[in-house]
Amino acid sequence: MEGQRTKAMIRIGKSTVQRPRLLLAYADSNLAVRWVRHFRRLGWEVRMAATGAEIYRVLAHFKPAVLIVDGELPDENALHLCGKVNQVYPQIRVYLVGIDNMESAETRPNGLQVAGIFARADRVEECAEIILGKRLAEAV
């Protein structure tokens, strides 16, 4: 096994490190395709989930660094889901896509903690710069 790399590992110089992980919870398949393609191109391991139940199943074993939640999930309120994820997995940075009027902490229910909120019309490249930090997104 030594000397072999798994799909979740990438080589940086002479070192092999685990690829960062992203879970994308989507309701809009067009949005999902753009996000998945872009983050995989940046070297991320990406998993997708289309329902709240599926998100919880994937979170239990995948352990992403970032969770991006579409505001229009079919079976669960996205804000409620983010609150649950914040409680159980506080180390995961959570971002919301497509939630209107949620820019300030005052408009978030019970001070919901999210790392960022993006409009559905925002370009995935711009969102990636915010999530990764501008230098990292440009370097890849």
Instruction: Name the residue with higher pLDDT: 77 or 121.
Output: 77
Q: How far is CA 20 from CA 9, 44, 56, 131, 139, in A?
A: 9, 5, 19, 12, 15
Domain annotation for the chain: domains and CATH numbers: 19-139 (3.40.50.2300)
Contact predicate 109/99, CB 8 Å? no
| pLDDT category of residue 100 using cuts at 50, 70 and 90 | low
Instruction: Tell me the average pLDDT across 63-71.
Output: 93
Write out the E strands in 13-138.
15-18, 21-25, 45-49, 66-70, 93-97, 116-118
pLDDT of residue 67: 96
Contact predicate 59/89, CB 8 Å? yes
